Amino acid sequence: MQAKFVEDQIIKESYSAIERLRQRLLGVSPRYYIETYGCQMNEHDSEKIAGMLESVGYVPAVSKNDADLILFNTCCIRDHAEKRTFGNVGFVKELKQNNPALITAVCGCMMQQREVAKRLASRFPFVDLVFGTNELHIFPQMLEKVMDGGRVFEIKDIEGEIAEGLPIKRNEGFSTFVNIMYGCNNFCSYCIVPYVRGRERSRRAEDIVAEVRHVVEAEGFTEVTLLGQNVNSYDDNGIKFPELLRRVNEIEGLRRLRFMTSHPKDLSHELVMAMAECDKVCPHIHLPVQSGSNRILQLMNRRYTREHYLDLVKDLRENVQGIEITTDIIVGFPTETDEDLNDTLDLVRKVGYSAAYSFAYSVRPGTKAASMDGQIPEEIKKQRLALLNEVILESVNGANDKYIGTEDEILIEGVDTRGEPMLFGKLGCLKMVYVKGDESLIGTYHRARITGTRFNSLVGELMD
């Protein structure tokens, strides 16, 4: 789909609202606290909201207790995400009693479901501002209305536009996110994302390159993760994802380039070769398989077979040196039998993932799978999840031994002070490595020799 961009005029209005709020809050420095649920997409949206808040003069609060504004950025991918949010928003009531001026806002995927948002707004009358996933760029205008004493409930139908040029307050560290596309067209039958994030739309390649250059040159990040629900279908008027990777790979000062998530149906050999040939692209891919049973894959509307998936794994391993593969798997999808589960367990063993995120199928109202016959009882889902986790653990631990004796570069990210203090860092393939060393090394790249394993991580020593 041709991407639609929010008009410059509207972004200008957002900046005017930022300026008015800044004047209004001069000398006040109110504190904000953002609680984010869900995936990196939401985390990054929260960075954009933080960017707008800091532009008007807000400063981060240490906790909810000392905040003047609390914002919940919600997720609805599974049932328990929703339950947790209602619980935590309810808790704000007490804080509001102590600080009547406290502003409370709720946004994100769960709020994009208008019925749920209405339920939340009527259950919690103290919530001042509710908005969906399409209104991020008018946050300053909405905040202004709330400060004028209004209650704002703003959830547009999700058409899907791209807003460029908003301020972003990036989380500290060495690694940061850059959106390359928004939305999803895949309608996997279990998944709510296409309903709450709208259709796929790609940012302009030149805007992405400019943003990566900015975070590297002006903000000092050395590792960038390109974000999208399905990066393999990125398309900016004919510029496809492999070409985008090659362009970003050219940026001087960038050391590591990652991306997520990849849908197996759109993973081309061309992309595999771009990964192999771009020196900054890390040897890691998150390639959600969801199930190892062809019958279930078809019911899930994933549009690939286990054979195709295994061929992709082969292509990746043959061409991208040292690649590690991670995945997402759902058990207990409607009609899943023990035989289907065995196909999944078998596939996990065959691929040898370095990490796998496992989920019990959760009914999402409005999706196709929600009304399928053959829903699996919760008890059985739980048993299957436990079984899957055992197999994952075996497979992950088994895959660590091969690192012993190897040497490679790690980015040192921090210090672990549980027990004897150890620095920890990551290999390009995302494996965590613990080493002894001085804290002054945090943020730098070093070669390390791997000497052993520790749970599902590695232990090593720094080389000169």
Positions in the binding site for ligand SF4 (CB under 6 A): 184, 186-188, 191, 193-194, 229-230, 263
Q: Smallest Cα–Cα separation from 182: which of 238, 149, 228? A: 228
Q: How many residues interact with ligand F3S (rule CB under 6 A)?
A: 12
User: What minimum distance in Å lies between the beta carbon of 308 and ligand SF4?
Assistant: 16
Judging by beta carbons within 10 Å of its beta carbon (0-12, 13-18, 19+), is residue 373 exposed, middle or buried?
exposed
User: What minimum distance in Å lies between the beta carbon of 201 and ligand SF4?
Assistant: 14
Choose the binding region for ligand F3S from 48-56, 193-201, 230-238, 254-262 (rule: CB under 6 A): 193-201
Phi, psi of 84 (to 5 degrees): -60, -40
User: What minimum distance in Å lies between the beta carbon of 347 and ligand SF4?
Assistant: 17
Q: Which of 69, 71, 75, 77 binds ligand SAH (CB under 6 A)?
A: 77
Residue ranges of the alpha helices (H) in 99-138? Answer: 109-112, 114-123
Q: Which residue has the tokens 């798997």?
A: 329
Phi, psi of 97 (to 5 degrees): -65, -35
Choose the binding region for ligand SAH from 106-114, 126-134, 200-208, 358-366 (rule: CB under 6 A): 358-366
- 78 contact, one of ligand F3S, ligand SAH, ligand SF4, none, CB 5-8 Å limit per kind: ligand SAH
CB 93 within 8 A of CB 125: no
Q: Which 33-52 positions form the footprint of ligand F3S (CB under 6 A)?
A: 38-39, 41-42
Strand-pairing partners, residue 236, are: 239
Phi, psi of 455 (to 5 degrees): 50, -125
Angle (CA) 36 38 44, round 5°: 60
- 285 contact, one of ligand F3S, ligand SAH, ligand SF4, none, CB 5-8 Å limit per kind: none
> Measured on CA atoms in the order 259, 265, 269, 270, is the torsion positive or negative?
negative
Of 104 and 290, which CB lies nearer to ligand SF4 in the complex structure?
290
User: What minimum distance in Å lies between the beta carbon of 138 and ligand SAH?
Assistant: 26
Judging by beta carbons within 10 Å of its beta carbon (0-12, 13-18, 19+), is residue 176 exposed, middle or buried?
buried
Q: Does 263 bind ligand SAH (CB under 6 A)?
A: yes
- 330 contact, one of ligand F3S, ligand SAH, ligand SF4, none, CB 5-8 Å limit per kind: ligand SAH
Of 77 and 325, which CB lies nearer to ligand SAH in the complex structure?
77
Q: How many residues interact with ligand SAH (rule CB under 6 A)?
A: 17
With b for 16 or more beta-carbon neighbours within 10 A and e for fewer, the 275-298 pattern comes to bbebebbbbbbbbbbbbbbbebbe
**What is the chain's alpha carbon radius of gyration, rounded to the nearest angstrom?**
23
Of 372 and 422, which CB lies nearer to ligand SF4 in the complex structure?
372
Of 263 and 306, which CB lies nearer to ligand SAH in the complex structure?
263
Q: Which residue has the tokens 């004493």?
A: 149
Q: Does 261 bind ligand SAH (CB under 6 A)?
A: yes
- 187 contact, one of ligand F3S, ligand SF4, ligand SAH, none, CB 5-8 Å limit per kind: ligand SF4
Binding site for ligand F3S (CB under 6 A): 38-39, 41-42, 75-77, 109, 192-193, 196-197
